[in-house]
Structure 1
Amino acid sequence: MLRFSGAGVSDVGRVRPHNEDSAFHGPFVAVVADGVGGAAAGEVASATAAYVVAATALARFGDDPVEVLVRAIEDAHECLRAGVAADEELAGMATTLTAVASDGTRVALAHVGDSRAYLLRDGTLSQISYDHTYVQHLVDTGQLDPADRFGHPWGNVVLRSLDAGPDRSFDVTDLEVRPGDRLLLCSDGLTDLVRDDRIAEVLRLTDPHSAAAVLTQSALLAGGKDNITAVVLDVVDGPLVVGDGRLLGALAEIGNVVDPAAVRLVR
């Protein structure tokens, strides 16, 4: 049975007054969400999205993981809309979202925004999520060399996110993984400051918690200008295990989560 075994770290960093990153990791689902910089109540948006996606995946374990993630993100979108409808001070809140889910046989990846998912296989690192950013648009249109993405002054301009507006576009796809692979889900507080070659080096550490901690420390040493979240997951083939998972960042404060029952206000 394909499942995840791993660890995560979420740190406020050296500049931000509070943590707007949220994360969850368990044997069959993991999520990283990052409240979009400059938007209202980023911690509410990220915690709500991470909570709804994780809870939906846990409740529907065994179902098609692509369908589960699609439904989960649609429900998260409705919760954000409900939150704004109930409290106008939340207007404008938005979050990135990167998640993986397994039904024991298949694994799916969902993504929107500029948090990232990486795959380390046989010591080689590849980015498996697509950045919904202006810098990536420049790369796609031939206006910027991919090698010049790192540290670009417009790197924080996100073109797509999960918010309370009418648009709810996101990417969900099957993910081909096998036992022995390692996945990293992380916020841009890591990738804006730590290059891929360093990420690959650290991910080769045997222990997932050590890898997550060293990645976080690497970003802190590079300035820690944003919240930093890293969830490191080993893909394993093992028996069904019982256990919900671990809450990180803003998700650890349940008051940040919009009550999912409130979706009836906007449906």
Structure 2
Amino acid sequence: MLRFSGAGVSHTGLVRDHNEDSAFVGPYVALVADGVGGAAAGEVASATTAYVAAATAMARFGDDAADVVRDLVQRARDCLVAGAAADPRRAGMATTLTSVVCDGERVVLGHVGDSRAYLLRDGGLRRLSSDHTYVQALLDDGRLAPEAARHHPWRNVVLRSLQGAPDEATAHEPDVTALDLRPGDRLLLCSDGLTDLVDDHRIAEVLGLRDPHAAAAVLTQAALEAGGTDNVTCVVLDLTQGPRVVGDGRLLGAVRDISLVVDPGLVRVPAARQSCDGARTAVR
């Protein structure tokens, strides 16, 4: 049976005064969520999404991984919409989400926004996700050279994210991709606080470290040494094979403050309350 073995690190950085990144690391689900900069209550959006998404995946272990990914995205968005409706100060909150779910036989990637997923295999690094940003759209259309993308003034303009606005029906649609992986592969999930400052060559070099926690810590430190201009979160996972393990996982970043997770008791939206209640029960 396939599963993840790994670790993660989340750091506020050297410029921001609080952490809007959230992450979860577990044996069958892992994710990174980055509250979209400039939006209200980014830390609430990322914490709620990480909490609900992780709980949904754990509660549905053994179900088709692609179905689980779609479900966790919808349930997270239900809670964001409900949370924004309950508190006007949360209007406009949004978050990225990059998650991997393993059903014991295969791994499926769910991705929306500009956090990233990478694969390291035999020393070679390959990006598994595509940024949902204005600059990536320019690159895809051939209107921008790759060497110009890193310093483009609009490189952080996100076109798709999980949002609390009920009328944004298509803005949250994730890319759902079945990954062709094998035991021994290493995955990296990270926020743009890493990739804006650390190039792929350095990322590949550090991912070669034997210990996943050491790799996550050194990658985070590399971002801090490069300026630490944003929150930075790195989750490093090794795909392993063996008997099923029992365990929930570890919360990182903003989601460690459970008060940031939308309280279902304050929200009168039945579907969203059911999703959030399930999350709270499953994680605890």
Shorter-chain TM range is over 0.9
C-alpha contact 1:150 1:195 (8 A) present in aligned 2: no
Cα distance, 1:261 vs structure 2: 6.0
Q: Which moved more, 1:166-175 or 1:15-24?
A: 166-175
Tell me how far apart the structure 1 counterparts of residues 217 and 49 of structure 2 sit (CA, whole Å): 24
**Where does residue 245 of structure 2 map in the other structure?**
241
Aligned ranges 1:62-211 → 2 under 5 Å: 62-165=62-165, 166-167=168-169, 168-211=172-215
**Where does residue 35 of structure 2 map in the other structure?**
35
Task: Tell me which of 204, 218, 225 is aligned to 2:222.
Answer: 218
Normalised by the size of structure 1, how large is the TM-score? Answer: 0.97
Cα distance, 1:262 vs structure 2: 6.0
Per-residue deviation, residues 132-184 of structure 1 (Å, max 9, x unmatched): 00110110111112233223221111111100123231111211111010000
C-alpha contact 2:86 2:267 (8 A) present in aligned 1: no
Give the gaps of 5 or more residues in structure 2: 272-284
SS at match of 2:246: coil
SS at match of 2:17: coil
Give the gaps of 5 or more residues in structure 1: none
C-alpha contact 1:30 1:100 (8 A) present in aligned 2: yes
Aligned ranges 1:242-257 → 2 under 5 Å: 242-257=246-261
In structure 1, give the amino acid aligned to 2:213.
H
SS at match of 1:119: strand
- Root-mean-square deviation (CA, aligned residues, Å) is 1.2
Tell me how far apart the structure 2 counterparts of residues 67 and 83 of structure 1 sit (CA, whole Å): 24
1:231 equivalenced with 2:238 (yes/no): no
Tell me how far apart the structure 1 counterparts of residues 268 and 87 of structure 2 sit (CA, whole Å): 15
SS at match of 2:120: strand
In structure 1, give the amino acid aligned to 2:211.
D
**Where does residue 5 of structure 2 map in the other structure?**
5
Structure 1 segments, 4+ long, off by >4 Å, are: 260-264
Per-residue deviation, residues 166-221 of structure 1 (Å, max 9, x unmatched): 32311112111110100000000000000000000000010000100000000000
Cα distance, 1:4 vs structure 2: 0.3
Cα distance, 1:101 vs structure 2: 0.5
Cα distance, 1:266 vs structure 2: 6.6
C-alpha contact 1:219 1:228 (8 A) present in aligned 2: yes
Identical columns (%): 69
Aligned ranges 1:12-23 → 2 under 5 Å: 12-23=12-23
In structure 2, give the amino acid aligned to 1:76.
A
Normalised by the size of structure 2, how large is the TM-score? Answer: 0.92
Q: Which moved more, 1:102-111 or 1:143-152?
A: 143-152
Per-residue deviation, residues 101-132 of structure 1 (Å, max 9, x unmatched): 00100110000000000000111000000100
